[in-house]
Amino acid sequence: MTTLLIIEQVLNGLQFGVMLFLMAAGLTLIFGVMGLINLAHGSLYMVGAFAAAWVAGATGSFLLALGAALAAAAVAGVLVEMLVIRRLYRAAHLDQVLATFALILIFSEGTRWVFGSFPLFLDIPDALSGPVSLPGGIQYPLYRLTLIGIGLVVALFLWWLTARTRIGIQIRAGENDREMIAALGVDISKLYTLVFALGAALAGLAGALVGAIQSVQVGMGEPVLILAFVVIVIGGIGSIRGAFIGAILVGLTDTLGGIFLPELFKLFMEPGAATQTGSALASMSVYILMSAVLIWRPTGLFGARA
């Protein structure tokens, strides 16, 4: 295995990681500020992808499609927050789990109702298609490089938003003591709706960006949702920085594990069995990583509260 191949695989892991971050950031914000376990976050990802595919099909413009994804997911998020979630802030965690599970059912089959049972088409814009040559002679798809770039920009934006703006101060204060900031005159319910819309929009953006290189289909959100939960738990719930580092860790583990574990087993097993054992272990690697982190640090890498 050459160095070039290893670098290319690391890039792939990074790209997967930053896309997970887009999902995980919203999830961790919503959990940190509102204490809500939002299982329907994957559905917002799907809504973004379907909105993008539909608009791209109608207009042919990828930029419009991205805009539509952001808007559709944000609107869906606001509706969900105002119609359902708002009634559940005082309820037990488990009621929220059931409610957001019910939302998954409604979103998934509702989408199939509207768009049919077959996957939709969404393609990379021409300007970003095809590979480019990186220093050292690596051929790497331009679109994936763009994804890494967008992910990093969003991460910077979120850091700026939470650390440098008035809204960010309110969000952080809301994580610590929601009664207190309500007493200080912050409209807490407006803040919640805003945070929910922001998280939903990020999920929708991720859905549209990833949808262009994957399959836009019903149920596409659930596998990502589980991984996003893994990410925020590794990083420590409520921490944007934790979500970023967790996402990169998970992305790299998943990508590199799938490549290197079978090679590793080939050192002492016959190739066929090594490939199968290695692949089996690779599919478990992310979960092994998470349990190892939690056994070592029960509140994740950057988690504050128990």
Partner 1 sequence: MKSLLMATAAATLLASAAMAEVKVGMITTLSGGGAGLGIDVRDGFMLAVKQSGRDDIEVVIEDDQRKPDIAVQLADKMIQSEKVDVLTGIIWSNLAMAVVPSVTAQGKFYLSPNAGPSALAGKGCHPNYFNVAWQNDNLHEAAGAYANTADFGKSFILAPNYPAGKDALTGYKRFFEGDISGEIYTQLGQTDYAAEIAQIRASDADSVFFFLPGGMGISFLKQYADSGVDLPVVGPAFSFDQGILQAVGDAALGVVNTSQWNKDIDNATNAAFVASFEAEYGRLPSLYASQGFDTANLLISAIGAADISDADAFREALRAANFDSTRGAFAFGPNHHPVQTIYAREVVKEGDVFTNKLLGTALENHSDAYAADCKM
Partner 2 sequence: MIAERWLNMGVLLAFLAIPLWALAVDEPFTITLATRAAILALAAVGLNIALGIGGLVSLGHAAFFGLGGYAMGILGFHAQSFTALELGPLTIEGTKSMPVIWAVAVVVSALAAWVIGLLSLRTTGVYFIMITLAFGQMFFYFAISWGAYGGEDGLSIYVRNGFPGLNTLVPIQFFGLVFGILCLALALQARLRLSPFGLALNAARQSPARVEAIGLNPMRLKLVAFVLSGAITGLAGALFADLNRFVSPTMFSWQLSGELIILIIIGGVGRLMGPVIGAALFVALEHWLGGLTDFWHVWLGVVLLGIVLFARGGVVGLLTGKAGPHV
- List the one residue from 85, 255, 293, 301 that touches partner 1 (CB under 8 A): 255
Determine phi and psi for 133, rounding to 5 degrees.
Answer: -95, 125
Neighbours of 223 (CB within 10 A): 10
Least distance in angstroms from the C-beta of 109 to partner 1: 7
Rounded CA-CA distance 206/228 in Å is 12
Distance CA 100, CA 94 (A): 10
Shortest reach from residue 141's CB to partner 1, in Å = 5
Site string for partner 2, 64-103 (x = CB under 8 A): --------------------x--xx--xxxxx-xxx-xxx
Q: Nearest-5° angle of CA 149, CA 240, CA 10?
A: 40
Q: Which of residues 267-306 bind partner 2 (CB under 8 A)?
A: 276-277, 279-280, 283-284, 287-288, 290-291, 294-295, 298-300, 303, 306
10's tokens:
């690391």
Cβ-count burial of 236 within 10 angstroms (0-12 exposed, 13-18 middle, 19+ buried)? buried
Which one of partner 2, partner 1, none interacts with residue 233, CB within 5 to 8 A by kind?
partner 2
Candidates 105, 156, 163, 180: give the one binding partner 2 (CB under 8 A): 105
> Long-range contacts of range 2-7, CB-CB < 8 Å, 24 or more positions apart?
4/136, 4/137, 4/138, 7/136, 7/138
Q: How far is the CB of 173 from partner 2 (least distance, A)?
A: 21
Identify whether the C-beta of residue 184 lies closer than 8 Å to the C-beta of residue 176: no
Q: How far is CA 288 from the centre of its chain?
A: 20
Using CB under 8 A as the binding rule, whether residue 131 contacts partner 1 is answered as yes
Residues making contact with partner 2 (CB under 8 A): 31, 37, 84, 87-88, 91-95, 97-99, 101-106, 108-110, 112-113, 226, 229-230, 233, 237, 276-277, 279-280, 283-284, 287-288, 290-291, 294-295, 298-300, 303, 306
Binding site for partner 1 (CB under 8 A): 1-2, 4-5, 8-9, 12-13, 15-16, 108-109, 112, 117-121, 123-124, 129-131, 139, 141, 143-144, 210, 212-220, 223, 255-256, 258-259, 262, 271-272, 275-276, 279-280, 282-283
